[in-house]
Amino acid sequence: MLMVFLGSFYLVDQPDILIPQHGRYDVQLRFGPVGEIIGYGSIDLWDRLSIGVSYGAANLIGAGDPDFYTQPGVQARVLALEPSAFMPAVAFGFDNQGYGGFNNERYYVMSKGLYCQVGEIFDYPGLTIVPSLGINYCFEDDGRLDMFGGVKFQLGSSTQFLVDYSPNFNDELDQNKGYLNFGLRFVFYDQLFFEFSLRDLLDNGVDTQLNRMIKIGYQAQF
């Protein structure tokens, strides 16, 4: 079996192409800028369906009052086509969890909403490369179309380099450069992971430009 930590819904910020395994579950904590903490939990109900929930707050760490999100996030993913020698994986999903503070019916970095994603797995001795590309419709801020993509490089069974990007079209809270992120993830015993990421390498945000983020998580199967 391909030993890639594919149970996670995300690369850094963008969705990861998911290969569900029946009975697998995943819990994560994400520590971002402005004192943001988000907790995630997901489970693979069948070999093609994963669902998850999330909840958090901005300014949970630091001075001032925490800015708790007004509603929990919901994640769902259906694998429509498994990857093969001639066809990439195709997945359809929904995710209403964004990042940063929540004001005026939107997150600072808006959620994906509904999306379609394609990806492929290239497996070499000691190296696995998993590129993916998607299109999404976000329901925040009166609705908008956007795109996203990313690549995961896995060295052996324990080290992953993550790169993802979204052009973030038609957002008045950015500088029209898109969000480029880079992450380094370490997997221990095929179950635990620690990730350190640099976000917004293009200084696209207005209030929170280049920033750091940490994730910790656990994955198992019953």
For 147, 196, 205, the CA distances from 61, given in Å and listed in that order, are: 31, 18, 21
The total of other beta-carbon atoms located within 10 Å of residue 78's CB is 16
Q: What is the pLDDT of residue 39?
A: 97
Q: What is the pLDDT of residue 3?
A: 42
Here the tokens at position 32 are: 């971002």
CA angle 15, 19, 24 (to 5 degrees): 100
Distance (Å, whole) CA 174 – CA 182: 19
Per residue of the chain (222 residues), give pLDDT as tens: 344 454 468 999 999 987 778 888 999 999 998 899 999 999 998 888 999 999 999 989 877 888 899 999 999 999 999 888 788 999 999 999 999 888 878 999 999 999 999 999 898 998 999 999 999 999 998 899 999 999 999 998 889 999 999 999 999 889 999 999 999 999 888 889 999 999 999 999 887 789 999 999 999 888
Q: Which residues pair with 164 in a beta bridge?
A: 150, 181
CATH 2.40.160.40 applies to domain 24-221: yes
